[in-house]
Structure 1
Amino acid sequence: MNLTHIKHTSPLKVLFVLLYPLLLACCTTAVAPEVEERNQTVPEGYFTNPIGEGADPWVIRKNDTYYFCSAGDGGLYVSQSEKLTEPGEKVLVWETPDTGWNKSNVWAPELHRFNGKWYIYYAAAKKGGGPFIHQRSGVLESEGDDPFGPYTDKGMLYTGDSINYAGSESKWAIDLTPLQLNGQLYAVWSGWKENATTDKTKQHLYMATMSNPWTISSNRVLLSSPEEPWETGGELDLNEGPQVLKHKDKVFLIYSTRESWLKEYRLGQLTLTDTLLNPMQPAHWKKEGPVFQGTDSVMGVGHCSFTTSPDGTEHWILYHAKKSAVPGWDRNIRAQEFTWTANGFPVFGTPVPAGVPLPVPSGQMEED
């Protein structure tokens, strides 16, 4: 926990922060995976996880408002709230079409803002259900500076190896996210080396340049494959869900690895060794991990996004976790503060069990 704000907190909160490591150690071994005591009395100034249902949480902060983006029945949704730990009511901002490449299997949207407009990056398919062999990545653009739209469909993004050949097929791609660095925009995503007839296919991380927020302008480059011992050993080796994290003079890609439907799902980290180097060169990234993984009571942690507290003094991770050890995608969304080392690397710590009171983000106002 961040102890730099103790002088601004109540004596009760100070006591909690000081005793937090011992409390967490006890809860990690004593709380059953399915315990989510949402009906307990939570002290003022605290919250408990989970903060919502679903998976692949995305949050972006603008001024004093948090905007959350998610996929659901019929399309893509945006909600807003002044409280990071209390996402607002979801509003449908884009409906899936009746036909086309993106009519089904809408996954893991992200909401970004460039040049006074909002963009939603998402994955979708031309056919619903499995096998999930048709996933591709697309983008929507707002008509004005309003995250609730209306939005224009800018189409499928090219995620293949033959961008200079008209009509060349895009490759399987999900979890696309943009990276701005040194005046250049890049796309990073999870994809297959070749399109396949089975979804039991290894996933890798790729990068390409972008000429604008809706156009990929180069062939993809392979950044990362699941090769380390902590990335392999399960039913299917995956690298997916890359997220950009910047801090001071460093750039990180925090990504999910292992199988999303199993309790071993976890986070790995790619660090750009020098931000003046070309990020399209795989050798310029250093891999390490796992940097955030589950416990006996918080399982399958992964697919995160990052933001700051309302007063900007704390850094927070939103992630999803499985509700039980049973294989599948029954998950919920959680929030937790993380810190940094003295030389600027993230420290995500240990996921806190459901039902354990945590201090709300610094500067988050309570209801009168």
Structure 2
Amino acid sequence: MKKALLGLLLFPLFILGCTTAVAPVKEQESSQPVAEAYFTNPIADGADPWVFKKGDTYYFCSSGNGGIQVSKSEKLTEPGDKVVVWETPDSGWNKSNVWAPELHYFNGKWYIYYAAAKKGGGPFIHQRSGVLESVADDVFGPYIDKGMLYTGDSIQYASSEAKWAIDLTPLQMNGQLYAIWSGWEDNADTDKTKQHLYMATMSNPWTISSNRVLISSPEEPWETGGPLDLNEGPQVLKHQEKVFIIYSTRESWLKEYRLGQLTLSDTLLNPMQASCWEKSGPVFEGTDEVLGVGHSSFTTSPDGREHWILYHSKKSEVPGWDRNIRAQEFTWTADGTPFFGVPIPVGIPIPVPSGQEE
């Protein structure tokens, strides 16, 4: 029987009813242990993991090799071979610095949200968010570049400039589509600029239809104290009529990187009002053995019985972005709040996701 990693697992006891005649059972059969498969972290090299489960298949998305890559696998712990589905153009706002792409599925087509810049390297002051749309229902493309998403304060003016924006992710709730991302209050000439979380409505998967609203700033003691205050990498979790935004805070290049949480306690509340979101944290942070945990992605086991988090972690305490990708199960508290526990060190055997075949 599968062992739980987080919290205590209460094993059910099945009691068979008695009859007047019971067929004998061989002792060797009744005591035969059930083989259990394991994996160990990390499951891949890289950063900013993204996984999307559709049917019995997991689809993974990442940047690299001059563009955006997608892979698919029946196993959550084995991402599969990467295929480049979109290459950066030779010129334009999105020709360089492709960061943290996410793969989503709406109305029979695939969409990839990503950040990019018109100039390669640092300072990273040109990052903006864009979206790609698949021509058909094929995750491997081809994809159409639908352009830059508007992430500013003056959407009524066609020529108004979008503000610095990364890590954009969609939220569907009550028939409305929203965009959530990490951005700057104003464009700046230094990348040492405070990052906040913003939200706007969308009229379709490639069009933002409202000015942005601020929903979170790095203000709590566990979000501040280093060289740069930031909120980034927002991801959506839904459970029991609640919506959670799990985001990364502190510095991505340091071991203090960690996860915070915004909670919308009822889906009838207005997500575009900052006061409707309750902040808590840190909800997942590093240890002496697992450093700088952040930029999460969420899915379920193949049989849908378990909830899993993918995240990246630093390989050493040396400041920088040398990271790898890890996976582990998480659970829910009695009031429907996610409980992520403690990150599991490298090399510790972890039972594979429930229903995953070897």
TM-score (norm 1): 0.89
Does 2:52 correspond to 1:52? no
Q: CA deviation at 1:273?
A: 2.5
2:115 maps to 1:123: yes
Confirm or deny that 1:221 pairs with 2:227: no
Asked whether 1:301 is paired with 2:326, we answer no
Q: Deviation at 1:156? A: 0.1
CA distance in 2, matches of 1:299, 1:11: 42
> For residues 49-128 of structure 1, what are the structure 2 equivalents within 5 Å?
49-128=41-120
Q: Distance in 2 between matches of 1:232 and 1:284?
A: 22
Tell me: CA distance 1:200–1:7, structure 2 relative to 1, closer, same or farther (3 Å). farther
Shift of 1:298: 0.1
Deviation at 1:44, TM superposition (A): 5.4
Of 275, 282, 302, 1:283 maps to: 275
Closer, same or farther: CA 7–178 of 1 in aligned 2, 3 Å? farther
Question: What is the CA–CA distance in structure 1 between the aligned matches of 2:166 and 2:319, rounded to whole Å?
Answer: 21
Q: Which residue of 2 aligns with 1:174?
A: 166
2:283 counterpart SS class:
strand
Contact 1:304 1:318 in 2 (8 A): yes
Instruction: Describe the shift of the 1:4–1:77 C-alpha distance in structure 2 as closer, same or farther (beyond 3 A).
Output: farther
What percentage of residue pairs aligned between the two structures are identical?
Answer: 81
Cα deviation, 1:248-297, whole Å, max 9, x if unaligned, reads: 21100000000000000000000013210110000000000000000000
Between the aligned partners of 1:176 and 1:11, the Cα distance in structure 2 is 52
Asked if the contact 2:130/2:149 (under 8 Å) is kept, the reply is: yes
Look up the match of 1:232. Answer: 224
Kindly provide the amino acid, as one letter, of the partner of residue 215 in structure 1.
Answer: T
User: Could you tell me which residue of structure 2 aligns to residue 159 of structure 1?
Assistant: 151
Distance in structure 2 (CA, Å) of the matches to 1:11 and 1:254: 44
1:17-65 Cα deviation digits (max 9, x unpaired): xxxxxxxxxxxxxxxxxxxxxxxxxx95000000000000000000100
User: Which residue number in structure 1 is paired with residue 249 of structure 2?
Assistant: 257
Partner-residue secondary structure (3-state), 1:161: coil
Give 2:304's aligned amino acid.
G
User: 1:73 deviation in Å?
Assistant: 2.3
Q: Unmatched 5+ residue regions in structure 2?
A: 15-29
List per-residue Cα deviations over 1:76-133 (Å, max 9, x = no partner).
0000000000000000000000000000000000000000100000000000000000
Residue identity in the other structure for 1:223: I
Structure with larger RCO (C-alpha < 8 A, sep 6+) = 1
Return closer, same or farther for 1:6/1:107 CA change in 2, 3 Å cut-off. Answer: farther
Q: Which among 133, 146, 158 is matched to residue 138 of structure 2?
A: 146
Label 1:5 to 1:150 Cα distance change in 2 as closer, same or farther (>3 A).
farther
CA contact (8 A) 1:71 1:108 kept: yes
Number of aligned residue pairs: give it.
337
Matched to 1:324, the amino acid is: S
Give structure 1 regions of 4+ aligned residues with deviation exceeding 3 angstroms.
4-8, 10-14
Structure 1's 6 and 51: CA in aligned 2 closer, same or farther, altered over 3 A? farther
TM superposition score normalised by structure 2:
0.92
Structure 1 regions of 5+ residues with no counterpart? 15-42
The aligned runs of 1:311-350 (5 Å cut-off) are: 311-350=303-342
SS in 1 for 2:254: coil
Counterpart of 1:121, as a letter, is Y
